[in-house]
């Protein structure tokens, strides 16, 4: 089983659904002015297969990453990918971001907290709680970079963003020669001889959020209320954005 090839196939599929995904990963890593050779500690929240985490390890050779997700199917693929790359700087942790317990180990533990396309899975209350926990988990001066769906404050504008995002995804899937979501799982299930893989993924899903994400102003107000001293949008294209916050 060539996990590096399956990882690449997953990335190609995700890149069709999430506009400018690689550019956004790159920005999240380049904007914080952390010395690249330092032993920096990174948290990847809602890591999936660890796509952002692996990118971060490419930029910071002495870093270590804690990559957290709830879905065991994705975590298993991430661990196999780490094995295939002989990558020991990443630790995959199965945890629900909403649970207080696992965060306790990480008071002021991280220089950088990253999250990509994941926090819109939480409802507004849990997102606000997560932002408070991220603040506590960062060292003073630490950086938080969240790349996600972030809705317009105006519902009519957001409705148009949604239509345009769907059109972007359809066009990307038809031109990039990538699997769509169902196609990817069918192909992987076939290769593994495990026909219920997507069902296993679905069974572990803990979705409670909004496809559009919370509105822009919600993020600014909530992050500022946590005590972050610098909160700003670094990049935005319609309902897609990177919001950064510095402790
Ligand atoms: C669309 S995927 C993004 C994965 C990865 N960050 C990427 O950019 O490719 C969203 C991930 O968030 C995870 N997630 C959602 N809610 C979660 C929660 N409450 N606790 C832990 N993980 C969660 C899901 O399991 C899923 O893997």
Domain map (residue ranges) of the chain = 3-246
Task: Please tell me the predicted confidence (pLDDT) of residue 179.
Answer: 96
Distance CA 46, CA 41 (A): 16
The pLDDT of residue 130 is: 98
Q: What is the pTM of this model?
A: 0.97
| Residue 192 and residue 200 in contact, taking contact as beta carbons nearer than 8 Å | no
Q: What is the pLDDT of residue 50?
A: 98
pLDDT block averages, 10 residues each, the chain of length 247 = 93 97 98 96 98 98 98 95 97 97 97 98 98 98 98 98 97 93 93 86 92 98 97 98 98
The pLDDT value recorded for residue 194 is 83
For residue 173, report the distance from its CA to the centre of ligand 1, in Å: 21
Of 85, 52, 88, the C-alpha closest to 68 is 52
Residue of 135, 56, 113, 119 lying closest to 90 (CA atoms): 56
Give, for ligand 1, the residue of 7, 18, 48, 93 to mutate: max count of ligand atoms closer than 8 Å to Cβ. 48
Distance CA 245, CA 175 (A): 35
Closest Cα partner for 110 from 225, 247, 220?
Answer: 247
Q: What's the pLDDT at 115?
A: 98
Q: Ligand 1 mean position to 100 CA, how many Å?
A: 17
- Going by C-alpha positions, the residue among 97, 131, 111 that lies closest to residue 42 is 111
What is the pLDDT, as a whole number, of residue 171?
Answer: 96
Q: What is the structure's pLDDT at 167?
A: 97
List the CATH code of the domain at 3-246: 3.40.50.150
Most ligand 1 atoms within 8 A of CB, residue of 74, 90, 121 to mutate: 121
Q: What is the pLDDT of residue 235?
A: 98
Residue 145, token pair as written in the block: 């970079």
How much is the pLDDT for 72? Answer: 94
- Cβ of residue 215 lying under 6 Å from some atom of ligand 1: no
């Amino acid at each position: 089983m060539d996990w590096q090839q399956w990882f690449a196939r997953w990335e190609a599929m995700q890149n069709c659904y999430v506009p400018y995904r690689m550019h956004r990963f790159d920005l999240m890593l380049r904007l914080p002015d952390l010395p690249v050779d330092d032993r920096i500690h990174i948290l990847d929240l809602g890591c999936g297969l660890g796509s952002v985490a692996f990118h971060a390890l490419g930029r910071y050779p002495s870093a270590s990453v804690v990559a957290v997700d709830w879905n065991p199917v994705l975590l298993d693929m991430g661990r196999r990918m780490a094995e295939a790359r002989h990558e020991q700087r990443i630790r995959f942790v199965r945890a629900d971001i909403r649970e207080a317990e696992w965060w306790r180990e990480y008071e002021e533990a991280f220089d950088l907290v990253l999250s990509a396309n994941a926090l819109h899975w939480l409802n507004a209350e849990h997102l606000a709680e997560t932002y408070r926990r991220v603040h506590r988990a960062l060292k003073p001066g630490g950086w938080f970079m969240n790349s996600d769906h972030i809705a317009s404050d105006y519902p009519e504008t957001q409705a148009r963003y949604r239509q345009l995002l769907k059109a972007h995804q359809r066009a990307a899937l038809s031109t990039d020669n990538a699997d769509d979501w169902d196609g990817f799982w069918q192909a992987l299930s076939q290769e593994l001889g495990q026909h219920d893989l997507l069902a296993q993924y679905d069974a572990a899903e803990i979705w409670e959020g909004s496809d559009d994400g919370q509105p822009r102003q919600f993020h600014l107000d909530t992050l500022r209320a946590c005590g972050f001293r610098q909160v700003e949008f670094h990049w935005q294209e319609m309902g897609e954005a990177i919001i950064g916050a510095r402790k």
